[in-house]
Amino acid sequence: MLVLGIETTCDETAAAIVRRHEDGRGEIVANIILSQSAEHAAYGGVVPEIAARAHVEVLDLTIAEAMVKAGTSFEALDGVAAAAGPGLIGGIIVGLTMAKAIALVVEKPLVAVNHLEAHALTARLTDAVAFPYCLFLVSGGHTQIVAVLDVGRYVRLGTTLDDAIGEAFDKTAKLLGLGYPGGPEVEREAARGEATRFALPRPMLGRDEPDFSLSGLKTALRLEAEKIAPLSDQDVADLCAAFQRAVVDVVADRVLTGLRAFRRRFGAPTALVVAGGVAVNQAIRRALETVAGMADTSLVAPPAELCTDNGAMIAWAGAERIFRGMTDTLAASPRARWPLEETLAAEKAPA
Amino acid sequence: MRILAIDTALEACAAGIIEMPDRVLAQESVAMARGHAEALMPLLARVMDQAGTGFADLDRIAVTVGPGSFTGLRVGIAAARGIALAAGKPAVGVSTLAAFAGPYLVAGETRPVVAAVDARHDQVYFEVFGPGGRILVTPRLVAVRDAVRAASAAAVIVGSGAGILAAAWPDGKPLPAIATQGAPLIASIARLGAAADVAHALPKPLYLRRPDARPQDAARLPRR
Ligand SMILES: Nc1ncnc2c1ncn2[C@@H]1O[C@H](COP(=O)(O)OP(=O)(O)OP(=O)(O)O)[C@@H](O)[C@H]1O
C-alpha cells in the first residue's frame, strides 16, 4: 500500500510517500521537508499568518518533489493523508484542502490524520513496535505520557499542567538571547556549561500522577539570570546546563512514574517510545534509556528527522488507518484543537 | 476550452464547469462566510458529477486569488493547485476585483468601472477599470473615503464593498450605479481564466495586506 502524507500544522511544509508492506512493515519511499524557521526567526516564534502564507506558496511543489523522488504517479497511490490538526488552522486548511483535491482527482481514500497520532505511531514505521506501548510525546506544543493500545485507542496517563518542554526550551533560549528554535541552541550551550552552579527546582518530582509542570522552573531560571545580568558567555552556558539538568531529572522521574502507571493498568508495555522534537535532545534520550531499563523495557527513539514534524509520519498514520478501513470523507474538518483521545470518536462520527 | 472555475475568496463557496465561450455545464454557489474548507470539495464532486465530466476532460482550472478572506482564498488556491497537480492540468489565478468588473467591461461600458471588496477597519480593496479592461487604478488597499473620491467619475461600483462606498457617498453628488455582490460570477471567473496566460498566471494569493506580526524582543536579558 502506497500513501502520500502531507504535514502543514506548524512551520514545516512536508510531503512524503510511505509504503506499508503486507506484513505490516513500513518503508519511507520519499520524505521532503521545507522548513520556514528562517521566516519566523525574527519574530522569536511561529507567526500563524506567515506560516499559512508560506505553506500555500510551496506545498504543491513539495508534493511534486516527493512524487518525483519516489518515482511514482498519483494513480499508483492507495490513499492520501493530511494532518488535519491539532495545530495552526491556516496551515492545516492548506494541507488538508490540497490532500482532498488530490484524493478527489485520483479517486482514492482520504485520511484526515491527527498530528499527535502520527507522532505516536512513528515507532511502528521505524521499528515495527507492537501494541501496547508507552509513548512519551515531547515537543514544542505537547508533553504527554500516553498508553498506545491500538490505532485510534490512546489513553493519556499524564500531561503538562502549563508549558510544554519544547516551549520551555524555546523561552529559555529567548530569555538568554539565543537563536530560534531554542532547543538545539540550549542543548549546545549546556554542553559547555556547569550544571551545578545554579540551584533550580524540579517541579512535580515524586508526585503519584505522571504529570509535568514547567512554569516554576522557567521562573526560577529567569530570577537566577536576572540576578547576575548582564550575562557573560559562561553565565549563559551555565544557566543552560542547569536548566537542561533540571528538565532531565524531571523527565526521568515523571516518565518512570508513567511507566509504572502503565503497568498497573495495561500490563507490561512492549517499549517506551519517545516522539516529538525534544526527543532529539541527547541528554533527555540518555535519561529515557536509563528509565526504560529501570522499568524492564527498552527505549525506542525514531531518528531525529522523524521526531520533528514530517510528512512520513502522516503518510504512515494514513496507511495504518486505511489498512483498518478508517477513512474520512471529503468534508473532513480542519481542527486547531484535537486531543489524541478523540481520534476514534472523530472517526466514528458521521462527517 | 473546458474550464473548472472555483471561488472561495469572499462570501460564497462556488464552482462551475464552463465550456467556453459561455456554455455552463454545471455550477453551484452556496453563500457562506466561513466553512469553505469543509464545503468546497463535496461541492466540487457534485459539480463534476452533474457536468458529467472528468478531470481529464478539463483544459484548465481557474481560481480567484483575492483580494478577499485570507483563509478563504487559500482554500480555493490549495484546491486548484492540488487538482492541477494531480490531474496534470494548468491552473490560473483570477483577481476577485477583475472578476467583479468583468461583465461590465465585456458589455462595453465606456466610463470607469470601480470594483471594491470590504477590507474592514474602514478600508476597501479597490481597483478601477477603463474601457476594454484598461487598468486606471491598480489593485490596492485604501481608506473608504479615498476610494469614494477616486470613484467619483464611475459608471458603476461593483463588488462586496460597493455598498460601503455608497454609504459613504457625499450628499449632493450623483451616485454611480451600485451593484453589491457577495462574490463574483463563476462565468466571469471562467472568462478571465480562459484569457489568462498559463505561463504567468500561476494562482498565488493577492492579499494586498501584510500579515499582522511584530518582531518580539520582550523578555531578553542583556549580555555582556
Ligand atoms: N536538541 C533539543 N533539545 C531540546 N528541545 C529541542 C531540541 N531540538 C528541538 N527541540 C524543541 O522541539 C520543539 C519542536 O518540536 P516539533 O517540531 O516536534 O514540535 P512542534 O511543531 O513545536 O509542536 P507539536 O508537534 O506539538 O505541534 C521546539 O520547541 C524545539 O525547541
**Domains identified in chain A and CATH numbers:** 2-124+309-348 (3.30.420.40), 130-305 (3.30.420.40)
**Grid coordinates given for B117:** 471588496
Please state the rounded mean pLDDT for residues B153-181: 97
Using CA positions, which residue lies closest to atom 22 of ligand 1? A140
Question: What per-residue confidence (pLDDT) applies to B219?
Answer: 64
Question: What per-residue confidence (pLDDT) applies to A350?
Answer: 42
Give the residue carrying C-alpha cell 536548566: A243
Question: What per-residue confidence (pLDDT) applies to A349?
Answer: 41
Instruction: For A258-267, write each residue's pLDDT tens digit.
Output: 999 999 999 9
Please state the rounded mean pLDDT for residues A113-123: 97
- Between residues 258 and 287 of chain A, which touch chain B (CB distance below 8 Å)? none
Residue A348 has pLDDT above 60, yes or no: no
Cβ neighbours around A293 below 10 Å, total: 12
Nearest to B79 among A63, A101, A236 (CB): A101
Confidence of residue B194 (pLDDT cuts 50, 70, 90): very high
Candidate of A113, A174, A308, A314 to mutate for ligand 1, largest count of ligand atoms within 8 Å of Cβ: A308
Residue B215 has pLDDT above 80, yes or no: no
Distance between CA atoms of A306 and A309, rounded to whole angstroms? Answer: 7
Residue A71 has pLDDT above 50, yes or no: yes
Distance between CA atoms of B29 and A189, rounded to whole angstroms? Answer: 57
Instruction: For B48-85, write each residue's pLDDT tens digit.
Output: 999 999 999 999 999 999 999 999 999 999 999 999 99
The 3-state DSSP class for residue B145 equals helix
CA distance B14 to chain A (A): 15
Give the residue carrying C-alpha cell 508526585: A207
pLDDT > 90: percent of chain A: 93
Question: What per-residue confidence (pLDDT) applies to A345?
Answer: 54
First CA to last CA distance, chain B: 68
Question: What per-residue confidence (pLDDT) applies to A336?
Answer: 97
Please indicate if any CB of chain B lies within 8 Å of the CB of A102.
yes
Instruction: For B3-35, write each residue's pLDDT tens digit.
Output: 999 999 999 999 999 999 999 999 999 999 999
In A64-167, the DSSP E strands lie at: 79-85, 110-114, 133-138, 143-150, 153-159
- Between residues 23 and 82 of chain B, which touch chain A (CB distance below 8 Å)? 37-42, 44-45, 55, 70-71, 74-75, 77-82
Distance between CA atoms of B64 and B57, rounded to whole angstroms? Answer: 21
Confidence of residue B223 (pLDDT cuts 50, 70, 90): confident
- By residue count, chain A amounts to 351
- Which residues, at least 6 apart from A348, have a Cβ–Cβ distance to it below 8 Å? none
Please indicate if any CB of chain B lies within 8 Å of the CB of A101.
yes
| Domains identified in chain B and CATH numbers | 2-95+183-195 (3.30.420.40), 97-180 (3.30.420)
Sign, CA torsion B173/B176/B180/B183 = negative
The 3-state DSSP class for residue B104 equals helix
Distance between CA atoms of B62 and B201, rounded to whole angstroms? Answer: 10
Confidence of residue B217 (pLDDT cuts 50, 70, 90): low
Question: What per-residue confidence (pLDDT) applies to B156?
Answer: 98
Distance between CA atoms of B209 and B125, rounded to whole angstroms? Answer: 9
CB contact under 8 A, B205 and A56: yes
Instruction: For A124-144, write each residue's pLDDT tens digit.
Output: 999 999 999 999 999 999 999
Distance between CA atoms of A51 and A56, rounded to whole angstroms? Answer: 9
Q: Order across the sheet with B60-64: list the strands.
A: B23-31, B12-19, B2-7, B60-64, B91-94
Nearest to A49 among B38, B42, B211 (CB): B211
Distance between CA atoms of B72 and B82, rounded to whole angstroms? Answer: 16
Nearest to B221 among A49, A102, A175 (CB): A175
Q: Which amino acid would we find at residue B69?
A: S
Nearest to A43 among B78, B215, B222 (CB): B215
In this structure, what are the phi and psi dihedrals at residue A59, rounded to the nearest 5 degrees? -60, -45
* Contact between A250 and A112 (Cβ < 8 Å): no
CA distance B216 to chain A (A): 5
Distance A298 CA to ligand 1 centre (A): 23
Please state the rounded mean pLDDT for residues A311-339: 97
Please list every residue in chain A whose beta carbon sits closer than 8 Å to the beta carbon of residue B221.
175-177, 225-226, 229-231
Residue A15 has pLDDT above 90, yes or no: yes
Nearest CA-CA partner of A154 in A287, A339, A7: A339
* Contact between A83 and A115 (Cβ < 8 Å): yes
Interface pTM, i.e. ipTM: 0.96
Please indicate if any CB of chain A lies within 8 Å of the CB of B13.
no
The 3-state DSSP class for residue B102 equals helix
DSSP per residue, B157-176: EEETTHHHHHHTPPTTSPPP
Cβ neighbours around A296 below 10 Å, total: 10
Rounded to 5°, angle at Cα A48 from B201 and B217: 120
Distance between CA atoms of B182 and B31, rounded to whole angstroms? Answer: 8
DSSP A279: G
The 3-state DSSP class for residue B12 equals strand
What residues flank ligand 1, with Cβ below 6 Å?
A: A 9-10, 87, 139-142, 166-167, 169-170, 181-184, 187, 276-278, 280-281, 308-309
Question: What per-residue confidence (pLDDT) applies to A38?
Answer: 86
Return the bridge partners of B130, or none. none
> What is each CA distance from B94 to B15, B198, B203, in whole angstroms?
14, 11, 8
Return the bridge partners of A2, or none. A19
> pTM higher than 0.80 for the full model?
yes
